Amino acid sequence: MARELYSFLDIPYSEEVDKFVYSHTHASNSSRKKYYSTFRKETFNPDSWKTLLPLPKIREIESKCEDVLKTLGYDVFNPEQN
């Protein structure tokens, strides 16, 4: 995926980029201790919040981030579609 993105943007894909991407997608437990870390296991599901957070909490976050979400073109979460 990263190679495709770099190619689309016409940016050279180097060995350093490859190592960076690999290290952030194949992290050990010690690298992932903080919830805000950018290191993830390769099995990480970025959509897991959709089943972990209760709908009232999702709506609260959406209401507080409404301006940013609209500016970036995000739709509100619809549990019947996801």
pLDDT digits (tens, 9 = 90+) for 17-75: 999 888 887 776 655 456 666 667 777 777 788 788 899 999 998 889 889 988 988 88
Same domain, 38 and 50: no
Domain of residue 5, residue span: 1-44
Domain total in the chain? 2
Pairwise pLDDT comparison (14 vs 41), residue with the higher score: 14
Q: What is the DSSP letter of 9?
A: T
Same domain, 26 and 40: yes
* pLDDT (0 to 100) of residue 77: 85
Same domain, 51 and 61: yes
Same domain, 54 and 69: yes
Q: Tokens 């952030």: give the residue.
A: 24
- CB-CB neighbours of 61 under 10 Å: 14
Same domain, 12 and 22: yes
Q: 26 CB contacts (<8 Å, ≥6 apart)?
A: 41, 42
Q: Is 27 in contact with 41 (CB distance < 8 Å)?
A: yes
Same domain, 18 and 57: no
